[in-house]
Amino acid sequence: MIESPLARRTLLRSAALTGAALALPGCATVSIRRTVQATCLPPVNVDPSRVIRTVAGLRPYRASGFVVRAEPLGSKRLVHNYGHGGAGITLSWGSARLATQLGLQGHAGPVAVIGAGALGLSTARLVQEAGFPVTLYTAQLPPETTSNIAGGQISPFGHYREGSVTPEWQQQFLSAMEYSWRRFQLLVGDDYGIRWLTTYTQGHGDPDPTDPLHRFHPASRTLTSAQHPFALDGMASYDTMYVETGRYLRQLTRDILQAGGKLEVRRFATPADIATLPEPLIFNCTGLGSRELFGDTELQPVRGQLAILLPQPEIRYAFTGDAGYMFPRPDGIILGGTFERGQSSTIPEAAAIARILQTHRQVFSSFRCVA
């Protein structure tokens, strides 16, 4: 399924063009030389010696899509906001907006948010912006949350199964995407670690203006082989935003605390434990934790394994394709490509990491210079 222009490294190549001899009396023959520029994208150096860490994260996947729903919890009101698969960061602001619109209407008093990943932090921030005091309760703090492992591309991926969602849910998804798209644009810059990059993508197909997601792929175009450096067929490109997740989550946590929010490390075993909280309104943003905590058996882990290479500041583009994906960030080059359903181990597997490195090495070792 499914963000300033791409800054490209430029190499100069001189090509001599000989002009016609001017055989006029008293005139010397003139040779005209013209400098031609060749634009080249620098390749990623995918050498195993450049790996600085490997990680495995678990996406909270539901075939029927993420949940935003309210229900009573004793005398309290509980609003669920979980199950975003591989689109948690992408949809975080929009899904949080749906949840807070549902929960805050007619509410008075303090608010609790359970979970300090991207969904919990954005929900807490919107609660504050609406004028309510908030306390974050979480078993794990960044950088130990699932969100910290995410690649950080603002483009929805792997968060539902075609044919398993309703038209009403599709509208909810598009509403969430629309708000997140606008909100992340306001945060672009070094403070939050968000920047626009051109993404080269394999097998993306021709841009379809009738696709509801088309507007979230600006500058989308199909490329000829002369317009990109990849030795691959079926290439296209579009622009989107990328998030340096560690920096982003740290800054968002600071925003909440600086605005008077409270944070408490606490683990809940049952809904009855949650019901003991003093706040009358509670937002559940526990991701995969909702499977055991609330008995959502449709929720399942989908593992994604990553190899992170030493940073290459000159890499100012991203790639997705059969080999997996490459997202450049200041904290390292993110290489990924696994979508392992039902796998709950967070220990990276050497064989999977080796495959990720091999497939990306093949892609970037065959780069061409595009004139």
- 64, 83, 51: which is closest to 334 by C-alpha? 51
What's residue 286's pLDDT? 97
Is the preceding peptide bond at 143 cis, omega within 30 degrees of 0? Answer: yes
Q: 215 CB contacts (<8 Å, ≥6 apart)?
A: none
Domains of the chain: 10-39 (no CATH), 63-193+244-298 (3.40.50.720)
Strand 300-309, strand 235-243: pairing: unpaired
Could you tell me the two tokens for 122?
């954005």
| 3-state percent breakdown (helix, strand, coil) of the chain, nearest 5 | 30, 30, 45
At position 40, the amino acid (one-letter code) is C
| CB distance 138 to 286 below 8 Å | no
pLDDT confidence of residue 370: 66
> How much is the pTM?
0.87
Supply 31's token pair. Answer: 């040779």
Q: Long-range contacts of range 205-210, CB-CB < 8 Å, 24 or more positions apart?
A: 205/234, 205/236, 206/236, 207/236, 207/238
CA distance 339 to 43: 25
Per-residue tens of pLDDT for the chain, all 371 residues: 333 333 333 322 333 333 333 333 333 334 333 333 345 899 999 999 999 999 999 999 999 999 999 999 999 999 999 999 999 999 999 999 999 999 999 999 999 999 999 999 999 999 999 999 999 999 988 888 888 889 999 999 999 999 999 999 999 999 999 999 999 999 999 999 999 999 999 986 677 888 889 999 999 999 999 899 999 999 999 999 999 999 999 999 999 999 999 999 999 999 999 999 999 999 999 999 999 999 999 999 999 999 999 999 999 999 999 999 999 999 999 999 999 999 999 999 999 999 999 999 999 999 987 65
Cα angle value 170/172/174 (rounded, 5°): 70
Residues 6+ apart with CB under 8 A from 322: 202, 203, 232, 359
Q: Which of 318, 347, 305 is nearest to 243 (CA)?
A: 318
What pLDDT sits at residue 311? 98
Give the C-alpha separation, 100 to 176, whole Å: 12
The β-bridge relationship of strands 221-222 and 332-336 is unpaired
| Residues 235/201, Cβ–Cβ less than 8 Å | yes
Q: Which amino acid is at 6?
A: L
